[in-house]
């Protein structure tokens, strides 16, 4: 099996056994990037030199028998939204085109401590606002399965670089589905942890109460490996959970005895693509065959999730993005006159249309006279959505369903229809609102050759159950082994 095809877990074994060198593995992925990425456009910046230097150093330390990190020698791509003092953090925005953070995000620091080889920074929707990566100020990212189609988003680069075999592991962020949706559309595994499981320190905020960092990989096993490395309590993030992190990789292969699997009635309503529905139902069949008890459940408020999300997320975003005012960092207009004009022009010049739209929406929802009707109302519905889940997880261990209603859509298909773009998040936003973990695993391929994703959700902090449940499925199927043909 080629270096690109083998899983990160397999590579790690070989690295440990000295049968593989970090430099070889890194070089193989760098070569792949140079042949494939000008067509796919997953990376905003690739650090070939730095990556090879780190890989060489790691090989040296391993041979010298020095202590070495958990991911030692594995290439990892990072979404360009997590601060790394070694490079710029642009959030795919003109606003931060030249921003060099003087500090490392906790996740990047943990990756460095684990001796991961950080090979490059992946493309995304500007400030993670979007579901297609078309909102990047710098470039399009194309779906490796069909270059005419979008990879999804906002972590489109993160999903595409794994699907395109340019990185075995990558880090994304998920505020309303931004890891699970592109993972589903690109046929890779993507996990959004429990809110607070992974530190947000150094993650450039979109919607602070919804943002979570998570892994993307080819297999559940690889996702578990990467999650283990980045999870854990962080005193620098007041919302980080002070809870022990299980060693997911050790329990991963233990099937869940007497698994109770919930199917959400509302998830199979109209609007769901037939091929997607078929694959998801087949996946549920696999669980049945493994002896799982399948129960139909209801999440009565889930139909309000998108509306709730599009009040809360833009409200927080309008506030989080107020700091980009051309004074302390980032873009500043050349046409400045008085202070207010300087602000208005700086922000008008450097924010893209979707970012402006959400800032406007959020500022409106929070402004005098509308707060109660929109923001406060949404916070209350949010609790009802959470209570639906609490009730559901009394009856079931995992909830299974589609990630998206349809497979990957054509680039440009929805760019002039914001609302329909927002509705793509239909099945994913609830997990962010409720703070619970969710995973997307490949579960089929359409007649037109596009991947289909199965979403599993678990109770807060039940990542171990989530991963073991997902592994049960992958142990029976090989959808996760399919790769797109070379672009």
Partner 1 sequence: MAISRDDVEKVALLARLELSEAEVVSLTTELAQIVAYVDQLAEVDTEDVEPMAHAVEVHNVFAEDIVEPSLPREQALANAPNQNGRGYLVPPVLGD
Partner 2 sequence: MSQTYTTVIGLEVHVQLATQSKLFCRCSTQFGAEPNTQTCPVCIGMPGSLPVMNRQAYQLALKTAIAINCEIPAFTKWDRKQYFYPDLPKGYQISQFDLPMSQDGWLDISDPKNRFEPRRVGITRAHLEDDAGKSVHDEAHGRADSEIDLNRTGTPLLEIVSEPDMRSAAEAKAYMQELRLLLTHIGVSDCNMQEGSMRCDANVNLHIDTPDGKVATPIVEIKNMNSFRAVERAIEYEAERQHRAWLETSTKMGDVPKQTRGWDDTAGKTLPQRSKEDSSDYRYFPDPDLVPVLSTPEEVESVRAALGELPADIRKRLSDEHSLSAYDADVLVNQGRDVLQYFTAAAEASGDYKAACNWITQDIQRVLKEKDQSIDEFSISSAQLADLITAVAEGKLPKSRSKDAFELMHADSMEVAAAIEKLGIEQVDESALVGLCQELLDANPKIVADVQGGKQQAIGSLIGQAKKKNPNVDPGQFRRLCLDLIARQR
Judged by CB under 8 A, the chain residues 428 through 467 that form the site for partner 1 are 432-435, 460
Please pick, among 7, 11, 79, 155, the residue that the annotation labels catalytic.
79
Give residues 396-455 in contact with partner 2 (rule: CB under 8 A).
none
Q: Residue 92: what are its φ and ψ, rounded to 5°?
A: 55, 35
**CA atoms of 137 and 155, how far apart (whole Å):** 14
Which of 373, 390, 395, 476 is in the footprint of partner 1 by CB under 8 A?
373
Report how many residues bind partner 1 under the rule CB under 8 A.
Answer: 74
154 is catalytic: yes
Q: How far is the CB of 230 from partner 2 (least distance, A)?
A: 15
Q: Of the listed pieces 49-57, 102-110, 244-252, 434-442, which binds partner 2 according to CB under 8 A?
A: 102-110
Q: Of the listed pieces 146-154, 267-275, 339-347, 387-395, which binds partner 2 according to CB under 8 A?
A: 339-347
**CA atoms of 187 and 169, how far apart (whole Å):** 14
Is the peptide bond preceding residue 417 cis, with omega within 30 degrees of 0? no
Please pick, among 7, 105, 136, 178, the residue that the annotation labels catalytic.
178
**CA atoms of 64 and 60, how far apart (whole Å):** 6
Joined tokens for residue 71:
């991911």
Report how many residues bind partner 2 under the rule CB under 8 A.
Answer: 44
Nearer to partner 2, 95 or 292 (CB): 95
Rounded CA Rg of the chain: 21
**CA atoms of 193 and 464, how far apart (whole Å):** 10
Q: Decide: 480 and 163 in contact? Cβ < 8 Å.
A: no
Q: Which of 96, 104, 118 is nearest to 29 (CA)?
A: 118
Nearer to partner 1, 25 or 458 (CB): 458
How is residue 231 annotated by DSSP? B
Which of 63, 250, 367, 448 is in the footprint of partner 1 by CB under 8 A?
367
79 is catalytic: yes
Please pick, among 11, 105, 136, 154, the residue that the annotation labels catalytic.
154
- 200 touching partner 2, by CB under 8 A: yes
Q: What are the DSSP calls for 69-113, one per residue?
A: -TTTT-EEEEETTB--TTS---TT-GGGTT---SS--HHHHHHHH
Joined tokens for residue 486:
């070379």
Task: Give the containing element (helix H, strand E) for 316.
Answer: helix 305-320
Name residue, tokens 């994304």: 172
Q: Of the listed pieces 11-19, 150-158, 159-167, 188-196, which binds partner 1 according to CB under 8 A?
A: 188-196
- 126 touching partner 2, by CB under 8 A: no
- 390 touching partner 1, by CB under 8 A: no
- 322 touching partner 2, by CB under 8 A: yes
Q: Indicate which residues carry an active-site annotation.
A: 79, 154, 178
Contact residues toward partner 2 (CB under 8 A) are 82-83, 89, 91, 96, 99, 101-103, 105, 200-205, 207-209, 235-239, 315-316, 318-319, 321-323, 325, 327-329, 339-340, 343, 363, 366-368, 371, 375
């Amino acid at each position: 099996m080629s270096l690109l095809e083998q899983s990160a877990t397999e590579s790690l074994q070989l690295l440990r056994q000295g049968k593989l060198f970090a430099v070889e593995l890194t070089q193989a992925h760098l070569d792949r990037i140079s042949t494939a990425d000008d067509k796919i456009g997953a990376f905003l910046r690739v650090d070939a030199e730095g990556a090879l230097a780190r890989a060489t150093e790691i090989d040296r330390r391993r041979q010298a028998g020095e202590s070495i990190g958990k991911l030692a020698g594995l290439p990892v791509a990072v979404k360009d939204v997590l601060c790394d003092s070694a490079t710029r953090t642009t959030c795919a925005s003109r606003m931060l085109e030249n921003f060099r953070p003087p500090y490392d995000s906790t996740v990047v620091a943990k990756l460095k401590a684990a001796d991961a080889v950080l090979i490059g920074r992946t493309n995304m929707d500007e400030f993670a606002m979007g579901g297609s990566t078309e909102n990047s100020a710098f470039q399009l990212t194309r779906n490796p399965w069909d270059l005419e189609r979008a990879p999804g988003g906002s972590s489109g680069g993160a999903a595409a670089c794994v699907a395109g075999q340019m990185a075995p592991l990558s880090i994304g962020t998920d505020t309303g589905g931004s890891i699970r949706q592109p993972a589903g559309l690109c046929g890779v595994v993507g996990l959004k942890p429990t809110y607070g499981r992974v530190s947000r320190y150094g993650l450039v905020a979109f919607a602070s109460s919804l943002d979570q960092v998570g892994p993307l990989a080819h297999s559940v096993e690889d996702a578990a490996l990467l999650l283990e490395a980045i999870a854990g309590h962080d005193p620098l993030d007041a919302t980080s959970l002070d809870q022990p992190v299980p060693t997911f990789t050790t329990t991963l292969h233990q099937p869940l005895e007497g698994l109770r699997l919930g199917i959400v009635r509302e998830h199979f309503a109209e609007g769901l693509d037939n091929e997607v529905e078929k694959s998801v139902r087949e996946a549920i069949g696999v669980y049945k065959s493994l002896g799982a008890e399948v129960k139909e459940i209801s999440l009565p408020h889930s139909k309000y999730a998108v509306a709730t999300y599009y009040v809360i997320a833009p409200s927080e975003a309008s506030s989080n993005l107020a700091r980009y005012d051309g004074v302390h960092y980032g873009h500043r207009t050349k046409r400045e006159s008085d202070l207010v004009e300087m602000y208005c022009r700086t922000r008008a010049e450097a924010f893209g249309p979707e970012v402006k739209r959400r800032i406007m929406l959020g500022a409106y929802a929070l402004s005098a006279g509308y707060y109660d009707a929109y923001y406060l109302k949404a916070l209350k519905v949010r609790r009802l959505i959470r209570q639906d889940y609490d009730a559901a997880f009394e009856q079931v261990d995992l909830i299974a369903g589609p990630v998206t209603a349809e497979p990957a859509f054509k680039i440009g298909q929805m760019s002039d229809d914001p609302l329909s773009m927002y509705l793509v998040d239909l099945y994913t936003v609830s997990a962010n609102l409720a703070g619970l973990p969710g995973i997307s695993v490949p579960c089929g391929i359409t007649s037109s050759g596009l991947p289909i994703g199965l979403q599993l959700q678990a109770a807060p902090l039940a990542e171990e159950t989530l991963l073991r449940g997902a592994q049960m499925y992958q142990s029976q199927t090989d959808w996760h082994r399919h790769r797109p043909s070379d672009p």
